[in-house]
A and B are shown apart, each in its own frame.
Chain A
Amino acid sequence: MATLIQLKPQPFSFTGPVTAAAAAFAGLFVGTAQGSGLLGILLGAALGAALAWGLMQAPLPRRTMRWGIAASSALVGLLVGGTMGLIVGAAFGAFFGWFPLWIADGRYRAGLPPYLTPGEVLWHYAFRVICGLIFFFLIAPIVVVMPLSFNAENFFTFTPAMLSLDPAGYSLKHYEDFFGNSDWQAALRNSLTIAPVATLLAVSFGTLAAIGLSSEHVPFRQAIMAILISPMIVPLIISAAGMYFFYSRIGLQGTYVGVVLAHAALGIPFVIITVTATLVGFDRSLTRAAANMGANPVTTFFRVQMPLILPGVISGGLFAFITSFDEVVVVLFVGSASQKTLPWQMFIGLREQISPTILAVATILVCLSIALLTTLELLRRRSEKLRGMSPG
């Protein structure tokens, strides 16, 4: 589409005010932080307009000018705000070295339909900015937690030492606490024993049942499906309450077996859903072919069917694992102090506000979920390739 559009250079009468407005906005933040917002706006606008004019008129190569602006802005930042100021200044400089020229060349209309009115172009970019803010909202908690977990102080906020990127402001002491504290280690051990067993139960029962359900001859298919999916639909607090009442009746409350059974039940819907979805693309004539060549049902299952649906089974297992590993409501009720899992320990820490070790644990868990997410994505692609679909 870009080839259709004739990029039209914009005069200073347009570039100047746009740059000034953007710079005024930036100036507002710098200004309020330094004492006077109004002064910041005025200075920013003036600087922006001057910058735009300078960039458009100066005969120097553009690359040189951009580096020059970024470097000088970084220098000003360093003088005003130390290391952090250097970074912020460099970022501002890089942006304002690029922005006026992007406007002046008319490149901002590249990739857009040529018939858009200026208002629509403005809305297009405003919309992008709004989306950017929402993405920031989505990702901010995770981004904030990670650096805070390296805090040298026992605070839940950035210390001045951290903001000036002083190495003394950072430490691994919360991680050391996590790996050295017996409470946390016991919780980690519990989580690592309960989750795999629950996953194993969920995957073995769930895969068999999904294969059974994928047959066209199952009576009451809808009803059975509804029962099997129900642990996912019922709010956790209700499942937890019911399990607490029932398991204390039959003596399973406060035992490992009780917690494992409860977690397996919660994980089963995920296994059923993923494996059933994989089985939709499974070619049944393959099993018939195997049987035709003399394989018995068990061999057929393990040599033909299983390798093909394995990606689905593994991703179902990962879902079940993370369900158990991340679960806190049910274990709070069904378990007792000796089955305290990692989320439970975190929950206690959060409610009683004890230590920032929670942030270190949180960071470790985020890394774990990134690893899981990557695995799942790879599995999905592999599964689609196996089924002859193009990878999304």
Chain B
Amino acid sequence: MADAIDTNTGTTRADRRAEAADTGPVLASDGTPLKASLRRALRAQKLRALMLVAPLLVFILVTFVAPIADMLFRSVENQIVSQTLPRTTAELQGWESDSGDLPSEDTYRALLTDLTLAVAANTHTRLGSRLNYEQSGMSSIFRQTGRNIDDVAAPYLDNFEALDPRWVEPGTLAALMTDPDYFAAARAWREENPVGPFGGGATYDQPIRLNPGIGELLPSAAAIFRDWAEYVRVENSAVVGDEEPWSLFYLRLYQDLLNVSEADLGAYDGPQSDLLLETKRMLDQFQPVSIRDRFIEVDAGWGNPDIWATIKVYSPSYTSGYFLNAVDMQLNAEGVSMQPEDERIYGILFKRTMFMSLMITGSCILLGYPIAWLLANLPMRTANLLMILVLLPFWTSLLVRTSAWKVMLQQQGVINDILVWLGVVGDESRLIMINNQFGTIVAMTHILLPFMILPLYSVMQTIPPSYLRAAKSLGATPFTAFWRVYFPQSVPGIGAGSILVFILAIGYYITPEIVGGTSGTFISNRIAYHISSSLNWGLAAALGSILLGAVLILYWAYDRIVGIDNVKLGG
């Protein structure tokens, strides 16, 4: 807007001169057209202003806006399930959760792989706690299964051992699977670095190299062998040939041997190729077991279709589950439904936050209006003196005021002592004024009262006192004059103060935490609880996002009514 005017002024002046001289465009002293020269100067000014603002803008974007964005993102983010159980969630896509059947054997095999890797990476307990927010009992299922994950496919190991005991010798397996050079080097390194008395010791620094031909012959067994070997090398300071692989390896080996043709095996001539061929020929003696049954044996929960339904519902990377939880709903296999009656706490909490904020706003109006009126109608000197009484609490540390209220309101506190001394209440029936809604409302009214008085005062200062006198001289009673003439003019002040107080009140944390007890806490206390105690960050983020939305709507209203530039700081 301002740019346009400047440019226009420049242009018109240039045009006028051009008309007067009538010799083409007017030139600046350096020979360029004046118009272009002006535009360049303007651009330079714009750029300089932006350069001045840029550092702060970047600073705020990084230190403040990014965290808020991160919170909003966390309220819907749900990658933990699909990241921890990638194969299982892919398999579950084809499973109908309302069929009442358990998922296929393939799904259980995928789960075995995912969980074996998750246990190695120690992420299964985190997933268990995450899913436990949605269905209780999940955490213990995952912990129990994690402890016994190697037992699930143990029958396959036993089968291989029965076919040929060489299958359980770590050395034989390592020779079969790894590159011969790597195997030799690893064993030589182990000779030089024997395992210490308590295990551990140095870590071999060469990543695993598989036998070149084995990957094509036994693809899935080779893949899990690589994962296992890297895991023991990094985590256990072991090298190939030290330990027996996960039992999952034997399941994979069995499947691969079933799939591979005898001709291909016969053509293979790597280490231990004869063992492979012999085993392939004896494979009909193998007694396979159902992995599904094994899982159910380890933890009966795996036989419950509801558990699987929950995993399926929460397998997408983004979920509305946290938001639904935040409004007392839940997302499960049947879709969205209300929480059971006795678990609906957030509705109550949101309602209580609203109700108490309204009460606080109301009592601030009630107490602030007379004060603002008095200050606006007293002589300037007296008003300034009394203003100190308003500004002093405003400037005093929030914790000082909260601690003062705690001291005054408690049962052995100052107010109760005075009441007992006056004989209003008996010593044994002291009033309970703290750790309930009353305490929170009193303390927060006191804390937020200046935020009501200051906007009210600045509005009332602009109302000429002669209006009231005029109304009275026209025959209005004092009350009518106030109610019909003065009050309507002070409504903008009430509006501004109320929105300000309300915005501040619904996000308050410290005061309700200290004087609120259990019945006087706000939604913000619940957010803090989920961040630091229950560690359900997603739900905390969802609650925070809802609160933020409410505040932004109120703030937008404040901007419409008062204007953002009119934010005043203590007169």
Q: Which residues of A contact B (CB under 8 A)?
A: 29, 32-33, 35, 37, 120, 123, 127-128, 130-131, 134-135, 137-142, 144-145, 148, 155-158, 201, 205-206, 208-209, 211-213, 215-219, 224-247, 249, 261-262, 264-265, 268, 270, 273-274, 319, 322, 325-326, 328-329, 332-333, 343, 346-347, 350-351, 358-359, 362, 365-366, 369-370, 372-373, 376, 392
Does B422 touch A at the CB level, under 8 Å? yes
Query: Are the C-beta atoms of A273 and B567 separated by less than 8 Å?
Result: yes
Interface size class of B (residues with CB under 8 A): 35 or more
Complex Cα distance, B70 from A41, in Å, reads 66
Point out the residues of chain A lying under 8 angstroms from B405, CB to CB.
141
Q: Once the chains bind, are A138 and B390 in contact (CB under 8 Å)?
A: yes
In the complex, what distance in Å separates the CA atom of A327 from the CA atom of B392?
18
Among the listed A141, A208, A329, which residue makes an inter-chain contact with B509, where contact means beta carbons less than 8 Å apart?
A: A329
Cross-interface CB contact of B46 among A128, A138, A219, cutoff 8 Å: A219
Is the Cβ of A32 less than 8 Å from the Cβ of B424? yes
Given A145-B404, A226-B564, also A347-B399 (CB < 8 A): yes
> A-facing mask of B61-105, CB < 8 A → 1, else 0?
101111111110010000000000000000000000000000000
Contact string against A for B residues 463-480, beta-carbon threshold 8 Å, 1 for contact and 0 otherwise: 000000000000000100
Q: Are B446 and A141 interface neighbours, CB within 8 A? A: yes
Q: Which residues of A contact B424 (CB under 8 A)?
A: 32
> When the two chains form their complex, are residues A237 and B528 in contact, meaning their CB atoms are under 8 A apart?
yes
Q: Is the pair B52, A144 in contact by a Cβ cutoff of 8 Å?
A: no
Partner of A239, one of B42, B68, B398, B406: B68
Shortest beta-carbon distance from B139 to chain A in Å:
22
With a CB–CB cut-off of 8 A, which chain B residues contact A265? 59-60, 63-64
Any A CB within 8 A of the CB of B245: no
With contacts A141-B400, A230-B64, A241-B544 known, what are 7 further pairs, Cβ within 8 A? A157-B417, A229-B567, A231-B64, A238-B527, A247-B67, A249-B70, A328-B510
| Cβ-based interface call for B569 (8 A) | yes
User: Which chain A residue has the least Cβ–Cβ distance from B395?
Assistant: A369
Report if A224-B57 is in contact (Cβ < 8 Å); known contacts: A219-B50, A237-B509, A369-B392.
yes
- Is A326 within 8 A of B398, CB to CB? yes
User: CB of B287 within 8 A of chain A?
Assistant: no
Determine whether the beta carbon of B393 is less than 8 Å from that of A130.
Answer: no
Question: What 1/0 mask marks residues of chain B from 499 to 519 whose CB sits below 8 Å from any chain A CB?
Answer: 000011011111001100000
Residue of A nearest to B59 (CB): A205
Give the residues in chain B near A131, CB-CB below 8 Å: 370-371, 374
Is A268 within 8 A of B396, CB to CB?
A: no
Looking at A35, A123, A135, A241, the one whose CB has the most chain B CB atoms below 10 A away is A241
Q: Which residues of B contact A326 (CB under 8 A)?
A: 397-399
CB neighbours (8 Å) of B68 from chain A are: 234, 238-239, 242
Chain B residues within 8 Å of A, Cβ to Cβ? 2-3, 6, 42, 45-46, 48-53, 55-57, 59-61, 63-71, 74, 367, 370-371, 374, 380, 384, 386, 388-393, 395-408, 410, 412-414, 417, 421-424, 446, 449-450, 478, 503-504, 506-510, 513-514, 524, 527-528, 531-532, 537, 540-541, 544, 547-548, 551-552, 555, 564, 567, 569-570
The answer on a CB contact under 8 Å between B537 and A245 is yes
A343 CA / B514 CA spacing, docked (Å)? 13
Residues of A within 8 A of B551 (CB): 233-235, 238
Q: Can you sample 17 A-B contacts with CB below 8 Å? A: A37-B423, A138-B390, A138-B393, A141-B405, A141-B408, A142-B401, A208-B55, A217-B45, A218-B49, A227-B61, A234-B551, A235-B509, A237-B507, A245-B71, A328-B510, A350-B403, A373-B391
A155 to B64, CA, bound (A): 42
Using Cβ atoms and an 8 Å threshold, which residues of chain A touch B70?
242, 245-246, 249
Once the chains bind, are A236 and B509 in contact (CB under 8 Å)?
yes
